[in-house]
Amino acid sequence: MKENHEGSDWDLRIAKLVSWLKSSEYFRVNDNVFLQDTPESGRGLYLKADTVSKNDVVVSIPSEYQLNFHSVVYHISKFNADLYFERVTCSDNDRVEDGGDPRSKLYKILTTNVVSKLSSFQLLCLYIMFEWKLLPFLNGPVSFWKPFFDVFPAASELKSIPSSWVLLPESCNKALFESLPAASMIHAQRIADQVLTDWRTVSPVLQMWSNAIEERIRPTVNELFQHFVHTYFVINSRCLYIDVPLKKSIADNFTMVPFVDFLNHSSDSELYCTPRIEVLKRGVCGLGTFNIVGGNYKYSTVGEQILLNYGAHSNDFLLCEYGFTLKDNKWNYIDVSPEVERLIEEETTKRFLQENGFWGDYTISESDISFRTLVALAAASSSNVRKVEKFMLGYLTEDSFYPHLQTLLQEFLHSLLEGIAVKTRQLETPEFCDQECVNNILQIYNGYTNIIKNHLKDSVLAH
């Protein structure tokens, strides 16, 4: 991690966050844990004393301190009576009098019709960006969420996210994008395209709000876009799954939870802490109290990190969504689709695989060469289509293609290793400006190498 969080300013911000959360009697942080910052993974929670065992509550954050589609709609409705969603928008008693707060005027544009067309991401980007980045320029009101915003990561802490290299003209990592493995490059480009789509949707509103700021200090369109990208990746790297009744799409089901978002990731999904949501405790606005509870692993060594599992994610995925990679990651796999597809030279073989739904999506993980990959390689190694068809249907095993398939597989794995060696050597040249970002990519290739070597070892033993 890049930013130094040590020192009194940070301590003060954390103290203010805790004091804000303590306004609710339901806020809890386990007495046995403490917050610490390390150069490797930034802020995280660690064991201070005693133990954290299965089902022990590590953190508990009530609904009204979470940012999600429901709580944002509720907060906007305090300034806009034209925004109405049953049992979500505020009652007339909670509405803010139009007494000079600029939001009473600016939030008017967010009617029920407008808001219901926005995704969770778009609404949260819009709202957080306004309350965090623009409201401070409008003399007077302070956002309810300020203590939460004040502990958000700085833009510099999100610089390892590859989509930002292509989105931000000033990124010094632009050249690195070409060195990404294909899987990361495709994923990062997809995120960058989504950021631009969302920007196109919300930027007219943001620009209108920004025009309310005195011209002398008003952000330019370019600055607005930078704030937007920053806000986008803050949300993306810190959101947690929750059921959002107002929304249908899975991508809309998330919430942002202070303090819980200090927990770092572990690939061991079965062992470490897990979320538990108490939907009956929805409070005045929101989706339920968000608890993190201990899992099967019992924390008993003082100083060890309390970890959460973000999902069964490979290093390609972690880099693109969160901007980090793990040294050991059991969920790593290699997408070898481009390389396998290049091997299939015969047009008839390609058509045969396409017609049978076996074209593309070829992967190799530590434990498996996927069946699809074996079928495609069997088709490349044999001219006997009937035999490949029987293999496809499960009537034959890959051993029926011995020795051609096994030889082709060995050559294929060796050629993958050579390709990785070339990419790795390119990354070791001094032309790249940011070693931390380079190291993340090297760590992905290293994971690939381990997977391939494992299969080469197996195939040598098998034959």
Ligand X SMILES: C[S@@+](CC[C@H](N)C(=O)[O-])C[C@H]1O[C@@H](n2cnc3c(N)ncnc32)[C@H](O)[C@@H]1O
**Nearest approach, Cβ of residue 305 and ligand X (Å):** 8
Residue 262 binds ligand X, judged by CB under 6 A: yes
**Nearest approach, Cβ of residue 442 and ligand X (Å):** 15
**Nearest approach, Cβ of residue 288 and ligand X (Å):** 19
- Residue among 264 and 289 whose Cβ is closer to ligand X: 264
Q: How far is CA 31 from CA 50, 272, 298, 328, in A?
A: 9, 18, 16, 31
Token readout for 227 is: 């704030």
Distance, in Å, from the CA atom of 89 to the CA atom of 77, rounded to the nearest integer, reads: 6
Residue 316 binds ligand X, judged by CB under 6 A: no
Distance, in Å, from the CA atom of 50 to the CA atom of 303, rounded to the nearest integer, reads: 11
Q: Which residue is nearest to ligand X (CB)?
A: 42
Token readout for 380 is: 């490349």
- Residue among 89 and 236 whose Cβ is closer to ligand X: 236
**Could you tell me how many residues of this chain bind ligand X (CB under 6 A)?**
17
Q: Which of the ranges 21-29, 41-49, 129-137, 140-148 carries the binding residues for ligand X, by CB under 6 A?
A: 41-49
Q: Which of the ranges 34-42, 51-59, 396-404, 436-444 carries the binding residues for ligand X, by CB under 6 A?
A: 34-42
Q: Which of 264, 291, 329, 332 binds ligand X (CB under 6 A)?
A: 264
Residue 238 binds ligand X, judged by CB under 6 A: yes
- Residue among 4 and 197 whose Cβ is closer to ligand X: 4
Residue 43 binds ligand X, judged by CB under 6 A: yes
Omega before 39 within 30 of 0, i.e. cis: no
Owner of token pair 């994610």: 313
Q: How far is CA 136 from CA 80, 127, 213, 256, in A?
A: 20, 13, 10, 21
Residue pair 12/5 in contact (Cβ under 8 Å)? The answer is: no
Residue 324 binds ligand X, judged by CB under 6 A: yes
Residue 194 binds ligand X, judged by CB under 6 A: no
Residue 447 binds ligand X, judged by CB under 6 A: no
Owner of token pair 């989105």: 167
Helices (H), 150-251: 162-167, 182-210, 221-238
Residue 265 binds ligand X, judged by CB under 6 A: yes
Residue 44 binds ligand X, judged by CB under 6 A: yes
Q: Which of 26, 42, 82, 410 binds ligand X (CB under 6 A)?
A: 42
Residue 323 binds ligand X, judged by CB under 6 A: yes
Residue pair 59/39 in contact (Cβ under 8 Å)? The answer is: no
**Nearest approach, Cβ of residue 237 and ligand X (Å):** 4
Q: Which of 24, 32, 36, 41 binds ligand X (CB under 6 A)?
A: 41
Kindly write down the DSSP assignment for every residue of 326-354, as one continuous string.
-SS-TT-EEE-HHHHHHH---HHHHHHHH
How deeply is 138 buried, as exposed, middle or buried, from its count of CB atoms within 10 A (0-12, 13-18, 19+)? middle
Q: Which of the ranges 178-186, 317-325, 358-366, 377-385 carries the binding residues for ligand X, by CB under 6 A?
A: 317-325
| Site residues, ligand X (CB under 6 A) | 1, 40-44, 153, 237-238, 261-262, 264-265, 322-324, 326
